[in-house]
Amino acid sequence: MDLYEGLPEPVAKAWERGLTSGRAAMTRRRLLRGASLAAAGAALAACGIPPAVGSKSGDAPEDTPDHSKKERVLNFANWPLYIDVGKKNKKRHPTLDRFERRSGIEVEYVEDINDNNEFYGKIKPQLAAGQDTGRDLVCLSDWMAGRVIRQGWAQRLDPANLTHAVTNLEDRFRAAAHDPGRQYSYPWAGTACIVAYNKKATKGKKVTSVTQLLEDESLKGRISMLTEMTDTIGLTMLDMGADSEHFTDDEFDAAIARIQKAVDRKQLRRFSGNDYLDELNSGDIAACLAWAGDIVQLRLDNEDIEFAVPDRGYLFGTDDLLVPAKARHRANAEALIDYYYRPEVAAELAAYVNYICPVTGAKAEMEKIDKDLAADLLVFPDADMIAKGKNFRPMSAAEEARYQEKFSALIGA
């Protein structure tokens, strides 16, 4: 049976491209529930897992023996289909194949990260016990990468092995709250949560703010927000004048209350993962919060789909590459990170993935591949859009559990 059978053509194409961007394949980011976290913690304690091993600053390059010179291998764990694939052989990854040929490093590429929390639960017992996870390089969303770094479970990277990465990382990615100075991680791609709408469904009305989503009577029952807490709450706080990078408990609660009012008066159709694509395409959803990569893809096939970057800002993040503590092949991992920071390689990856490219010089290379993508603000934001990007501030474990519990109650999870 065809995976996309029965879907409208624009949605089918967008889903197919979305799957190749890695995010659609996981029902986007699954909601973390406080209860499941507590259960996971209890299970680990019952199994006798020892306390976390490693300092708060993580392992320096010299602290963990590296076997890269003798063992020319690399185990790389990524999200499903979050990399380019061959035109003739969908099981091949052209950029990765070229890395293997030029470096002599054989890459075992696995797509076993379907959800940040699920994957964290999978590798936490080994990390806590001071053991190798069997993975030399992993790709985690910034807030989860931050958690791993804070636990002391990431190896500090050696800048001497990252000349392209150090040189070509765009400035806006260097000041990362979860990894100051980028000592432990480098972005694989940037992410953006914005407002999208179907101009046919809105009868030509532009939808440019969260206020319109939550209060415009003409959109009642035809809007959706996301099951990703950081994006939905973060954008709502920005709309209310709060700073998602420095908010208080009261500001978080105010955002929850504001959305709850919209839920109670049935302004919202529902909360969703990226399955909003079908309804946005058909017009059943007139407007919504959306991930930029999805909208880049859907707009290729539906001219009615528009997006807006709210004047008060949008939620910006990254999916980061890092080397877990006790991994055997740190230098090999650094070689791969550095390879993907060559502008021509970064452009080829971005042309397939359609997420924000973090590499200086990649836009000029994209001009040679796809001029439309090179001009797309959702792949290569301009200065005005960059200035509006805001992160969701790092949370302590207690804050994260508390906020997620409140958000779960809001969306009925």
The most distant pair of C-alpha atoms in the chain lies apart, rounded to whole Å, by 66
**C-alpha distance from residue 406 to each of 18, 241, 306, 388, 403 (Å):** 29, 21, 31, 27, 5
Average pLDDT, stretch 373-397?
91
Cα 325 to the center of its chain, rounded Å: 22
CA distance 120 to 147: 10
Residue-level length of the chain: 413
* Ranges 5-9, 46-50, 194-198, 337-341: which has the least confidence: 46-50
CA distance 311 to 239: 9
CA distance 295 to 309: 12
Percent of the chain with pLDDT over 90: 67
Per-residue confidence at 20, pLDDT binned at 50, 70, 90? Answer: very low
Q: What is the 3-state secondary structure (H, E, C) of 212-272?
A: HHHHCHHHCCCEEEECCHHHHHHHHHHHCCCCCCCCCHHHHHHHHHHHHHHHHCCCEEEEE
Cα 326 to the center of its chain, rounded Å: 25
79: number of Cβ within 10 Å = 24
Cα 322 to the center of its chain, rounded Å: 14
Tokens read off for 407: 């958000």
* Ranges 40-54, 174-188, 212-226, 298-312: which has the least confidence: 40-54
**Could you give phi then psi for residue 217, rounded to 5 degrees?**
-60, -30
Cross-strand partners of 195:
289, 308
383: number of Cβ within 10 Å = 7
Selection from 406, 23, 116, 28 nearest residue 233 by Cα: 406
CA distance 378 to 365: 17
305-308 and 185-198: which strand pairing? antiparallel
pLDDT in tens, 313-360: 999 999 999 999 999 999 999 999 999 999 999 999 999 888 899 999
What is the model's pTM?
0.76
